[in-house]
């Protein structure tokens, strides 16, 4: 009975991985210079799905009678490659400029040499210590990848928040979850041959669900590449205070006065047209729309308004949200967040509560009760 269910799960996992790999291949990614690495990541990810499907079909052809030692050896080898492939893919999502062919080849070469040594020693020796050494090396690999991912994740978060002037934790959280989930799947896979049958079946179902979820997230990322790529591919640095202070230098007093007046009028039009409700515009793009530079825009807010552009724009959005809450009683919070310019409902809730002391729902109830 268990063998029949095991074979069913093996067949299901092989088919699911092959189908997901085919779907990844069929995802359309625009042929642009800034999407080259993403197209490469798609190919790597699809190949990894097909590779993961092969052992399942091989075991089916053997009728589930494959040698447990051979399964253990190749499972550990595949886990090492899986960690590399998923790390490269996720780094391509969050920091594509750091993923170069040279670096990938070096990492692939290191993993290949280590795997080849392990395969030779494990298949020609009966010593158990070979497996323990392999697992220890695999653990070191995971630690190195984790440290690298955490550093690049923090850099990506900084770039997105600097570019869009909004908290981006909610948008990026899935990449962190995906990374740690992929590592967990690899660890569980490397230990799976020693699991009892019931636990192994549960693990098989779990990793099928994970790979399906990850393929879906990849599709979602491709849909939103025009949001992520401008921020993470331009190597943007935060606006330096020195550059801000120097923005007005070199201008005579009449020129500076004219520039300030031009920006004041442009900002009035910008507010009147409610362009502050556009969630996917970075500060540099806004500065171009206003007919100035990012540095002068920062200088103007620092010296003329006395606050940074980001909280000023957030204040406009919250005031507009308060207006809509009073006028549109049936509006959903998701629609309201998007309408006033927040990319996520959680950001909207957080800023609204911070500035008003109430949640949007509490504010609306109070307004309605006063009518």
**pLDDT, tens digit (0-9, with 9 covering 90-100), for 300-324:** 888 888 888 888 988 999 999 999 9
- Whether residue 197 is found in the same domain as residue 222: yes
111 and 246 Cβ atoms separated by less than 8 Å = no
Q: Is the pLDDT of residue 371 over 60?
A: yes
99-105, Cβ contacts within 8 angstroms, sequence gap of 24 or more: 99/37, 99/41
Same domain, 167 and 296: no
Helix, strand and coil in the chain, % to nearest 5: 80, 0, 20
* CATH number of the domain that residue 328 is part of: 1.10.10.60
- Both 155 and 297 in one domain: the answer is no
DSSP 75-135: HHHHHHHHHHHHHHHHHHHH-GGG--HHHHHHHHHHHHHHHHHHHHHHHH---THHHHHHH
CATH of the domain at 98: 1.20.1070
- Domain total in the chain: 2
Quote the tokens at residue 164: 């869009």
Buried b (16+ CB within 10 A) or exposed e, 209-223: eebeebbebbeebbe
Average model confidence (pLDDT) across the chain: 82
Domain that includes residue 108, residue range: 2-232
Both 192 and 292 in a single domain?
Answer: no
73-131: per-residue pLDDT in tens?
888 888 898 899 889 999 988 888 888 888 888 999 999 999 999 999 988 887 888 88
In this predicted structure, the answer to whether residue 145 has a pLDDT above a threshold of 90 is yes
pLDDT number for residue 239? 46
The model's pLDDT over 240-266, given as tens digits with 9 standing for 90+, comes to 444 445 555 566 778 888 888 999 999
Averaged pLDDT, 356-364 = 90
Q: Single out the residue in 183, 206, 232 at which a domain terminates.
A: 232
Per-residue buried b or exposed e for 103-114, using 16+ beta carbons within 10 Å of the residue's own CB:
ebeebeeebeeb
Same domain? For 19 and 120 the reply is yes
Chain position carrying tokens 């589930």 = 64
Q: Are residues 267 and 360 in the same domain?
A: yes
- If you count DSSP H runs as helices and E runs as strands, how many of each does the chain have, helices first? 16, 0
């Amino acid at each position: 009975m268990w063998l029949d269910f095991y074979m069913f799960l093996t067949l299901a996992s092989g088919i699911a991985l092959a189908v997901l790999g085919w779907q990844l291949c069929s995802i359309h990614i625009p042929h642009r210079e800034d999407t080259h690495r993403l197209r490469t990541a798609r190919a790597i990810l699809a190949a990894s799905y097909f590779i993961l499907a092969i052992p399942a079909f091989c075991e089916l052809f053997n009728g589930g009678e494959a040698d447990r030692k051979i399964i253990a050896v190749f499972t550990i080898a595949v886990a090492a490659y899986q960690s590399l492939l998923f790390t490269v893919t996720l780094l391509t999502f969050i920091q594509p400029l750091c993923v170069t062919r040279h670096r990938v080849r070096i990492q692939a070469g290191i993993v290949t040499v280590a795997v080849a040594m392990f395969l030779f020693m494990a298949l020609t020796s009966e010593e158990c210590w070979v497996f323990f050494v392999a697992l220890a090396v695999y653990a070191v690999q995971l630690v190195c990848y984790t440290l690298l991912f955490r550093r690049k994740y923090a850099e990506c978060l900084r770039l997105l928040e600097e570019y869009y002037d909004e908290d981006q934790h909610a948008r990026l959280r899935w990449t962190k979850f995906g990374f740690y989930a992929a590592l967990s799947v690899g660890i569980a896979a490397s230990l799976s041959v020693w699991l009892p049958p019931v636990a192994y079946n549960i693990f098989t179902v779990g990793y099928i669900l994970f790979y399906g979820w990850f393929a879906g997230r990849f599709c979602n990322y491709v849909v939103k590449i025009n949001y992520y790529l401008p921020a993470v591919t331009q190597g943007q640095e935060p606006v330096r205070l020195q550059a801000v202070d120097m923005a007005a230098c070199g201008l005579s007093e009449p020129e500076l006065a004219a520039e300030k007046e031009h920006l004041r009028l442009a900002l009035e039009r910008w507010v009147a047209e409610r362009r502050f409700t556009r969630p996917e515009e970075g500060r540099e793009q806004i500065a171009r729309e206003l007919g100035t530079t990012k540095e002068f825009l920062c200088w103007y807010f620092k010296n003329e308004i006395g606050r940074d552009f980001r909280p000023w724009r957030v204040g406009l959005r919250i005031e507009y949200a308060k207006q809509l809450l009073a006028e549109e009683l049936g509006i959903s919070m998701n629609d309201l967040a998007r309408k006033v310019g927040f990319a996520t409902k959680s950001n909207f809730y957080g800023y609204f509560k911070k500035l008003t002391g109430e949640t949007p729902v509490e504010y609306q109830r109070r307004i309605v009760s006063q009518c």
